[in-house]
Structure 1
Amino acid sequence: MSFEDDLGTALRQAGAGFTADGHALADAGEARGRRLVARRRAAVAGGAVLALALTLIATAGASVGGLLGGGGGADPGHAVARPMPEGGSGGSGGAPDGWAGKPRTGSGAVGAERMMADLEEALSGGGGALTATVARGTDSEGGAAVSGVYDDGKGKAAVALSLSRVDPGGSHADQLTRCGDRSIQGYDDCRTERLPDGSKLLVHKGYEYADRRVDTKCWRAVLVTPAGFLVEVSEWNAPAQKGAAVSRPAPPLDSARLKALVTSPVWHPALNDLPAAEPERGGTGAGSGTG
């Protein structure tokens, strides 16, 4: 008999002598199956908890950020009304060399309480009362902002104001202070004015929705100074930006008062605490200093 035949015979004899314990194999398989099912259930439960947490965060951000400008996409009817999302820089073409790592927030010298007091002071000449105020200070990445409900006795109206920085020579600053296509935005009136100090002011009287699906009006003023300070204010003829019944025929602040609000020196300390915006590629990047 050859070596190969001897080896084959030895292997067959060894295999015949091996008897598997069927019960032990079955028990081990069942235990492993239970472990896999437990892991799967834990993963599903963990995913559900994570999804719920993300939903709650998104919901809170939408409800608080609705007036402070912290959330989501803007309605095409008044897209330029929204405060700057990331530090108010407004740069759309990428940061030029040397700007990487620059601070995107202020020192916090002007906090939320001061912002609320400043808005109340700026509105004090109209004889109305400001309630339900919410604010963030200059140490926030989105810039400083404040909102509240203003009541001059003719119906409650939501008011929201934000402060940030933008490249004054960039395309974003130009877009913010330019009247859009009336046939698309559906506004009643829009005017741009060049102020004596070189600042550019937009006053826009439109609606919360361009298609006017509801009667909620949204009037805005946007100021961009030569130093790149950006002040934006929006007001509605309802106590909330969306989802509230109209409380008056028009928002409380007319064009003159909107202009006075955004140009008020009360905002200078907060604006001066915000870092300059990154210059846009191709822009002049002009201006720095006080507004």
Structure 2
Amino acid sequence: MHKTSSRLLALLSLLQTHRDWSGERLAQRLDVTARTVRRDIDRLRELGYRITSVKGPAGGYRLDAGAHMPPLLFDDDQAVALAVALGTAATGAAVAEDAVRALATLRQVMPPRLRHRIDSLRFTAVRPPDPQGGSDVDPRILVELSRVVRAREELRFDYASGPGEPSGDPRRVHPHHLVTWSSRWYLVAWDLDREDWRTFRVDRVRPRVPTGPRFDPRELPGGDVSAFLTGRFRGSEGPATEWPCRGEVVLHRPASDVAPFVQDGIVEELGPHHCRLTLGSWSWTGLAAAIGRFDADVDVIGPPPLTQACAELAARYARAGRAA
């Protein structure tokens, strides 16, 4: 790459930090003259970057949003994070087709070292991302966990008691699957010390090196990681096709208001202001509480345990209201 092109990329990287830069400061960072900085700013403007001049004693520059998409610059970790996000969005989301095309475009222009990292990252998105939730995960840990899953290598790691907590409980596992569930990352693995299947939050995993010997993978209960993980989060010891408790109600709200907030339930439109909701939960009280979150009058269709749970929950809340 020519020196001028390298300098333009370095200048663009500085401007993308979303701050105002004086011409003198930019010249110092790039080890060039202020005149060269002005000339490079003009070149970036010609490429479509909207760079505004900042008034002041020394003057300066700011990168603003433009009317069209100019070329972008990412460092290695940003490129990997972007590929992970696109791969997640490509599984069942409304923008899945666009995400697949964007990921293919990104991969095509990547240097071989980054393309290898992206190609080695394999995971399953069981549930689409939750825009309100999620956890911070080091992309390097995702790549390493994906590698040991594909290589079928025994993994040793420290498992923290909570996000941000010091590494604690040591684990030895046979890693089976790297999974996303509502914007959280999980490792599904056979725990060698506990002799059982476990799911581990990746943001609490701190891998140790080196990894252990290769292993012959066990068959996951049910054979499907989506069904297995869904069952575990429902409180089942194996894959679950149904919630332990499932009921049916009529909500006095339009179906369009309810459907976006129902993940694995069924919403049927009954009219402009009513809908039928079939929903499951790990307990009848939990199901009654889940139905109450829609903030609407409810007519319980059945079964009887759901009616009883609604009455018990109503009495409990009434007592709480009197106590307040």
Higher relative contact order (CA 8 A, sep 6+): 1
Structure whose CA Rg is larger = 1
